[in-house]
A and B are shown apart, each in its own frame.
Chain A
Amino acid sequence: MLNDKKATELFSKSIDGELTETESNQLEVHLSNSEAAKAFAVLAKTIDKSIVENSGISESGDGDSALSQDAKNRMSDSILRAMEKNSNLAATLLDSSESPADQQFTLQNQQEIQPGDSREASSPYTIVRKLGEGGLGNVWLARDEKLNRNVAIKEMNSHALQSPKAWQRFEREAEITGQLEHPNVVSLYQYGTDRKTGEPFYSMRFVGKRTLADAITEYHDRCLAGKCDPLILHRLLTAFLGVCQAIAYAHSRGVIHRDLKPENIGLDNFGQVMVLDWGLAKVVDDSDLSSQLSGDVELSGEALAETLAGEVIGTPLFMSPEQAAGKSVSQQADIYGLGAILFAILTGDAPHEPKKSKSAEPLKIKEVLKSIQQSESPRPRDFRADIPIELEAICMKAMAFKKYARHDTASELANDVERWMVNQGQRQSEYETMRMEGRELRTNTQASVRDLETNVRFMANLPPIQELIRADSVEETTAWRDRLITIFSGLLRAKSDYRSIVYSRLEGDEFTELVRVERHSTVHSNIRSIPKSRLRSGTSSEFIQRVGQNDPDEVYTSLACGALHDAASCEKKDVTLFAGVPIFDSQEENLYGVVIIECDLDHILKQQLNRRFVATDIIVACDTYQTILHSNGQDGIVDESVGKTLQPTRPELTEAITHLQEKMEYIDTTNQQVYGARLWLNANPHGIMFLLSHK
């Protein structure tokens, strides 16, 4: 609860607009309850109003106050004494009816020229057309009749001319712009006063009407039309570097721009970038303004500091949180402003662009400012998903909510962007190499898979396969079985990647192995034939059933946990490559059985991956189970990730994995970090994915 004393304090602050929302509410409640406090509020406002009404510079003033004649005489004498010290000044003042330029040159012709003498000149400008207008003044395209060139002229508008503060600000803008001599800061030619109206103006280099905002809009319009040109983005970023350099220079002179936005960056037709509109610029320490700005240039005695803390200065859409809060700003506010410009380049939108709400009512500035103060800066990739991650990171750092988390200097920000641009070329080349590596991996694996398919088809067409069907005696069966074992063993010896070859009979959902030759699980050179008593039988697995559904000679290939039994009981690490062919009784022409070859895919992959790659990470995954089959890091095989589920392990691969569900290849055009290739298995919706990435 407030008391009257506290309420009057708060009211006093409220007149200067310094209250928080809570304080405002408390005050409002108290004023409605306390007559005395309310009466104080009314009177205090009345007094303020009276003072403001009687303090303007245009009023005639109190008639009873005037300088005494003695005082006037004293002043005239002191002016004359001062003038005697400098006859040139005297002459200038004594005949103000003539142009100072004419008179000054007349005097100079009569006297010996001394250091410290001044020259004055007048330059006639002819207004051509209006270029733009802002809160403080209008900018015109004009013709300098003496030098026969186009210039831009800025002058105060009628509203600003009424305000002494605006006069100071205008003068200050000219002073700051004139002192900042940098290729990316617009050059000021002349500060003068119009003879007819007495109103101040300044002329500066005309850089054309095109601004960075126009260039950004054009780039993003092209992108929307499907004609996104990386070269234009490169040019925009190059322009951005120029802006950073200009701001770094201004900061080195103690000047903070405070209103950085694409509309305040002029672009000429030859790629020149100019930071315009220093009307809201602030000098860090005004007591030493002249020395900070130029070291040896003397400024007028009226150089005034404009620390506008407490007011909200700048353009809300590009404003830093501290600026939106009306706090005193430092160079870090400009770093945020630069980040906001980079944001606009990348997304085509201002960072604090209000989202279109369902209600037609537009957001008020107060609400935008409040939102800027309270919420974290937006992420560029939330606006456009194809923005390079590294560039987004640079932008996010410059626009960090906390000042200390931003780049220390504008040059540091420029360096980050430039480094990204330079690395683009190298990254492109590395990515191309990575693509080659990925395609080679897929091609080599595909060759092994096709070889497997050819072999299983060959095995299925061996004469003993049909002879075993027709054998009607034990001797005959044994003889053909032995023949088949010999051939299967020969193939296993020749193909070190194959684990087993099985010939099974199918009856309904049941299978019975007739011949099984397999490689010993630990002693790989040991090839053995499984005795009849140990041959397996049981319910057919999904794989066997799928093979049985094929037509003659059609191979079905799959990654599975087991060819004979379903995968429920097996570990994901046991995923193996199988190829099977159905066997039909050549006389009856009915399905009789299947021939299946089991292949050690891991062995094939290890052979292929046993060399150096540009890619720092290679993952081979089976998309039946979304399981990692093989993982290679820079230091070799990464065993711990094998068998794990793919997506949670590497979230950055999600987009590639989704893409490869339907496509043969994934190319990461945005970040050039991930390449994906997919190998389709025969007659199978699933396959093998190769995911290569580099950091």
Chain B
Amino acid sequence: MPTEHSTPEYWVEQYGDFLFRYALKRLRDENAAEEVVQETFLNGIKYYSQYSGKGSQQAWLTGILKRKIIDFIRKRNKHQHDQSEEHDPSNQLFDQHGNYHKNATSWSSGLDRNLQSSELWTIVKGCLTHLPQSQADVFTLSVMEELDSDEICKELAITPSNYWVRMHRARLGLANCVGRQWNSKEEAATHAE
């Protein structure tokens, strides 16, 4: 007899939020995250016979989800125009000799000191959403999913040089954004005092 703890509702209730948060961090899009979680559950159903261990169910579903996220990013990249070229922070930051413009950098002071991990993460998360999708996706797969460059190039069908350009621009863009936001936060705190 089915029990209260073994219905599909319970399954969704038990793992749904965790998987959703996991996907949202990587895809930065609620609809997309919901879609991959749903696909994960359906895939879990299809191959459930292969996994009967109780304790590992969440980890097993996460494994499926990781694959689904990569598949989703691949599809998204395939159908999206690569905006990397139009969002090159180098133009703003560097002069004709390739050195930083004066006052262009916003990360010159105190960013590595006394940062509350949760505060920084909030800023980083926000800045990730401001990055061009193509840069953020490559960056996410590399840093969050720990895929190496060859894997990412293969999954997204991009060349290694394109990969490195995207990674570099993502890092510059993130540093620029995080630096500015942190400075604003600091200034606000100073005014409040």
Contacts and interface: CB of A to CB of B under 8 A. Distances in A.
B100 A9 contact: no
B140 to A, nearest CB: 8
A42 B17 contact: no
Nearest to B20: A67
Nearest to A300: B47
A8 B168 contact: yes
Given A50-B117, A198-B56, A93 B8 contact: yes
A171 interface: yes
Nearest to A118: B49
A679 to B, nearest CB: 68
A71 B178 CA distance: 32
Contact of A301 (B2, B64, B151): B64
A494 to B, nearest CB: 88
A16 B45 contact: no
Interface in A594-630: none
B6 A97 contact: yes
A82 interface: yes
Contact of B56 (A4, A18, A191, A193): A193
Contact of B12 (A42, A47, A76, A197): A76
B179 interface: yes
A283 to B, nearest CB: 12
Given A50-B121, A75-B37, A67 B16 contact: yes
B144 to A, nearest CB: 4
Contacts of A40: 105, 107, 172, 175
A122 B54 CA distance: 14
B100 to A, nearest CB: 4
B20 to A, nearest CB: 5
Nearest to B177: A47
Interface stretch (A160-168, A519-527, A635-643): A160-168
Q: Which of B8, B94, B121, B167 has the most CB of A within 10 A?
A: B8
B120 interface: yes
A120 interface: yes
A322 interface: no
Interface string A84-128: 000001001111110110000000000000000010101000000
A372 to B, nearest CB: 20
Nearest to B120: A50
A568 interface: no
Q: Which of B47, B64, B90, B175 has the most CB of A within 10 A?
A: B175
A78 to B, nearest CB: 6
A55 B26 CA distance: 8
Contacts of A310: 148-150
Nearest to A61: B21
A159 to B, nearest CB: 15
B168 A12 contact: yes
A93 B45 contact: yes
Interface in B39-95: 41-43, 45-57, 59, 62-64, 66-67, 90, 93-94
Contacts of B55: 196-199
Nearest to B52: A100
Contacts of B11: 79, 93
Of the four ranges (under 10, 10 to 19, 20 to 34, 35 or more), the interface on chain B belongs to 35 or more
A210 interface: no
A310 B142 CA distance: 13
A5 B146 contact: no
Q: Which of A6, A76, A164 has the most CB of B within 10 A?
A: A76
Given A42-B112, A50-B117, A12 B164 contact: yes
B7 interface: yes
B32 interface: no
Interface residues of A, number: 84
A474 interface: no
A78 B38 contact: yes
A66 interface: yes
A667 to B, nearest CB: 55
B1 interface: yes
Q: Which of B47, B107, B115, B171 has the most CB of A within 10 A?
A: B171
A200 B6 contact: no
A274 to B, nearest CB: 25
B151 to A, nearest CB: 5
A167 B59 contact: yes
B112 A171 contact: no
Contacts of A192: 52-53
A4 B94 contact: yes
Interface string A51-71: 111110100111001110001
B16 A75 contact: yes
A83 B154 CA distance: 34
B161 to A, nearest CB: 11
B168 A62 contact: no
A43 B175 contact: yes
B190 to A, nearest CB: 20
B58 to A, nearest CB: 8
Contacts of A13: 164, 167-168
A55 B16 contact: no
A35 interface: yes
Nearest to A40: B175
A374 interface: no
A72 interface: yes
A97 B7 CA distance: 11
Nearest to A66: B17
Contacts of A171: 63
Contacts of B24: 65
A97 B1 CA distance: 10
Nearest to B165: A9
A61 B18 contact: yes
A82 to B, nearest CB: 5
B180 to A, nearest CB: 11
Contacts of B151: 305-307, 309
A308 interface: yes
B54 A5 contact: no
B6 A93 contact: yes
B34 A67 contact: yes
A5 B98 CA distance: 5
A617 B39 CA distance: 76
6 contacts: A4-B94, A35-B108, A40-B175, A43-B179, A94-B7, A328-B150
Given A16-B148, A16-B149, A66-B20, 7 more contacts: A6-B98, A61-B17, A71-B34, A79-B8, A80-B8, A167-B59, A309-B148
Interface of A: 3-6, 8-9, 12-13, 16, 18, 34-37, 39-40, 42-44, 46-48, 50-55, 57, 60-62, 65-67, 71-72, 74-76, 78-80, 82-83, 89, 92-97, 99-100, 118, 120, 122, 164-165, 167-168, 171, 191-200, 300-302, 304-311, 328
Q: For the complex of A and B, list the 10 residue pairs with the smallest distance between their C-beta atoms, beginning with the closest.
A: A198-B55, A193-B53, A3-B98, A61-B21, A198-B56, A309-B150, A5-B98, A55-B144, A79-B8, A36-B100
